[in-house]
Each structure stands twice: as structure tokens, then as C-alpha cells.
Amino acid sequence: MATARTTGILLAFNCSRSVANLALHFVALVWLALHFSAAHAVPAFARQTHQPCVACHIGAFGPQLTPFGRQFKLQGYTLETGDDRKIPLSMMLVETFTHTQKAQAESPGSGFNRNDNVELEQASAFLAGRISDHLGIFAQATYSGNGGKVGWDNVELRYARSNQIGSHAVVWGISLNNNPGVSDVYNTIPAWQYPYMSPDLAPSAPATPVLFGAVAGQVIGASAYAQLDDAWYAEAGGYRSLSPAFLRTVNTDFSGRVTGVAPYARIAYTRNVSNGNFEIGGVIFKMRRGLVGTNTAGDSESLPGPADRFEDIGVDASYQHIGNGDHIVTVKALYVHEQERLDASFAAGSAERLHGSLRSLNLDASYWYKNTWGVTLGGFANNGSRDALLYPVTGRPTTNGGIAEFNWNPFGKTDSWAKPFANLRLGVQYTFYTRFAGAVRSIDGNNRRATDNNTLFVYAWTAL
């Protein structure tokens, strides 16, 4: 959930720009996080459970969950040890450095250079933990250096219960959240998928299925879920649009109103194997969305008329070898096929064809030594149907490449200094492209090559 860039290994406040940004927005971050709930105090997860971060997270901290972390989330963030409740806030800072192989044609953001940018990419405040015996919350407010605003991020309110039905153990609950897939626990669905940190000042794939964050933070939804015998998992629910006025209040972009309810469904099977576990599953997300324009005040608003239709169907698998914690191996895969009927875009003349499709394949494998040293290799392949209006330079969205990342976590383990308060991850990530926006050469009409978008990303990610 954090990112960082710097020519060497930069810590969170090594640049005057970042210090100024933090000073201006720190108070706003705390205020926004505190207003995600009423006055009922809940502790941060590690202090609540009296467990080190490695109990729930592979790699000392971050979004990748262990089996214990999965169950903690499924049970509504309610597990508690002791009654010494503390302030329910945590903080996160990500300082980054981004370098592309060739300078971009334009600045990637206001106030940034065409290349070699240092940025306070994220500063977040969290309200996270147990509210009552069966109710818990995870709420994040984030300041972004690219844009200079504080807005809401992933938010989930979860009600959960556990029951014994005959010889079967059942965990069931309801999740209220603002991002399709944020309720998932397997780190294969895009809301929590690798890379966990990525540059926001570098080029990225021009087109991916809508499940990959197209309406993140722009909707509100509820889903019911159940897990049987720590093995079978099923979830189903739906999402509706939030108003453009509300999204302006929480500083979130509006990319078009979702028509009616957008259904979401998830199924997975987990099996314990020697020193680890294996998971296989599937996901469906369907959505109808209208086009967006601007009113006389310059604000985004929905346009009348037909809606574009999207149907995403995905299959995923993951494997974790944890053993005694010295040598941890994880492998994950997700393939998503999106079928499109572009009634609105076709009628508006922004799509050449009424019907289209997108396909996305993501793979990654990582090795961690004692949750301290980590290496991850990943690959991605995005493809889709030809459309000269949607993809005007080459007519295709095809973007393929890979990621190599090295991490060092000096803190966050069982015996770390100031656990569980002090957590630090230093990362060096390199993303390369073999094809970008459908081409190897002249990807933008200006003789820019796919390899020119290769990106070195260095970050320092700290959580308190």
C-alpha cells in the first residue's frame, strides 16, 4: 500500500519538497482518518492483537497476507488480546524516486520533471481494528504528492461471525466497502495485487479490464461472504455509484456513473499442503457505465444517453510455502477476460466498434528470507481487440513486460526494535516493456520506443 523513489535509498524526509508537503497535509490526514467513524476508539491491528506484523503479513508488513492474516480479515478485524485499547490510528509514508529510460514527452504531473522525480508519493492515515465483538473497520485516507490533495482511499466496514454447523466450521459476514475486490484476502484480485508499490509518475498500460481499479473509490457496495472449514470461500454483492459532488468532497476522480447495480462475485478453494497452502478461484464483475463530461463550473458530471457494458471474468491461483518462516516462497497468477459492448462510446464516436474485448495476465513469484530480504519477479501481458479510435496510434492496447524487485525490511519482525510501531521497507523495482500500447517502436507517434518507458523505481516505505 505504499511507494517510494530516490536516486539512492531515500528515507521518508530527505527532500525539501517532501518535508513541505508533509507539513502542509499532516493535520488534514489525521482529521480525515478520525472522521471515518464515530468516537468509538479502536486500536491498530498489531497493537490490538499483540502480534508482530509478520503474523499477518509476508515480508514483515504490507498487504500480502499469511493464513493467519486472512482469517483475521475474514473475522472482521475483531481478534483482540487484552483490554488495553489505544489510539486507533496508524500512519504510512512512502518516499520515491522514478527514472524512465528516456524522458517522457510531457511532465507526468504538475510541478514534476519529465524524468528523475523525487516524490512523497503517499502519506496515509489509517483507522483500523475492532469496533465491537463482530464489527471491525479498515479505513485509509491518503495524501498524494502527484496532485497535492488528501482524499479517501480503500475503506471497508466488516461484520463477521463464526458458527459450528454439525462438524463444519463456518465464518460468514458482510463487507461494506468502496472498491470491488478490496474485501478479498488472497492478494490475487487487483485491489491487493502485486506490485504492492508502483510509480505514479511513469507510464503504465493504456488499457486494462475495469476490475483493475476503474471505479475504485467511486462506488459503494456491500457483499455477503462465507468460508466453510477454512477451505471453500464464496462472496457475492453489488456496487452503486457515489455522486460526483461527494467524490469532489473526498478528492476522488469521477469517470462516469455506474448504471444500476454492478454485481461482483468471488469463489475460491484453499487447501493446506506441506508447510504451506494452495488456492484456486474465480471472480466476476459486471458493470454498465455512462460517459462523463464537464459542466459550466468545470466539474465532472454524467452525460445522458446509453451506457457502455463491461463483463470481467477471471481465474486466479496462488501458492504459499511458509514453513518455519526462514524461507518463504509465494507464487500468484490472475487471468481476466473482459467482454465489452460500447453503446455509449460508439454512439459518441469515440470507439470504432460496438463490441470489443480486453485480456490481462499477471504472474509473480517471490522469495523472502526471514521476512527481511525479498526478491520478486513478475510478468504482465495485456491485450485486446483492435480499435483505431480507442487506441489511435497503433489501433491496439497490447502492453507486455516484466518486473524485478529487491526489498530489505530492517524492522517489522518478532524481535525488531520498537515492534510493532516501527516498520520500514526499502525497495528497488525495475519494470521493462517488450511492447507498449500495441507497438515496439513509435508507440506515441513521436518515435518513442516501448523500452523508453522502462522504469527504475526506488522507494522507502515506512509504517507507524
Domain assignment present for 278: yes
Looking at per-residue confidence, does 293 or 209 come out higher? Answer: 209
CA 225 → CA 105, 158, 185, 202, 214, distances in Å?
A: 46, 10, 12, 37, 23
- When computed from its CA atoms, the radius of gyration of the chain, rounded to whole angstroms, is 22
Instruction: Please list, in sequence order, all residues whose beta carbon lies within 8 angstroms of the beta carbon of residue 423, skipping any fewer than 6 positions away.
Output: 53, 60, 61, 409, 411, 412, 462, 463, 464
Q: Which of 168, 214, 181 is nearest to 281 (CA)?
A: 181
CA-CA distance, 335 to 382, in Å (whole number)? 10
Question: pLDDT value at position 80?
Answer: 72
Domain assignment present for 446: yes
Looking at residue 359, which CATH number applies to its domain? 2.40.160.10
Domain assignment present for 216: yes
Average pLDDT over residues 322-351: 96
* pLDDT tens digits for range 366-408: 999 999 999 999 999 999 999 999 999 899 999 999 999 999 9
Domain assignment present for 141: yes
Question: pLDDT value at position 81?
Answer: 65
Q: Where are the alpha helices (DSSP H) in 58-138?
A: 67-74
The SS3 assignment for 18 reads: helix
Is the pLDDT at 38 greater than 80? The verdict is no
Domain that holds residue 323: 16-463
Instruction: Please list, in sequence order, all residues whose beta carbon lies within 8 angstroms of the beta carbon of residue 238, skipping any fewer than 6 positions away.
Output: 221, 222, 223, 261, 262, 263, 264
What is the total count of domains within the chain? 1
Instruction: Please list, in sequence order, all residues whose beta carbon lies within 8 angstroms of the beta carbon of residue 462, skipping any fewer than 6 positions away.
Output: 2, 11, 12, 92, 93, 94, 422, 423, 424, 425
Domain assignment present for 26: yes
Direct distance between the N- and C-terminal alpha carbons of the chain, in angstroms, rounded to an integer: 13
Domain assignment present for 1: no
Domain assignment present for 95: yes
Residue with grid cell 518455519, as numbered in its chain: 324
Domain assignment present for 10: no
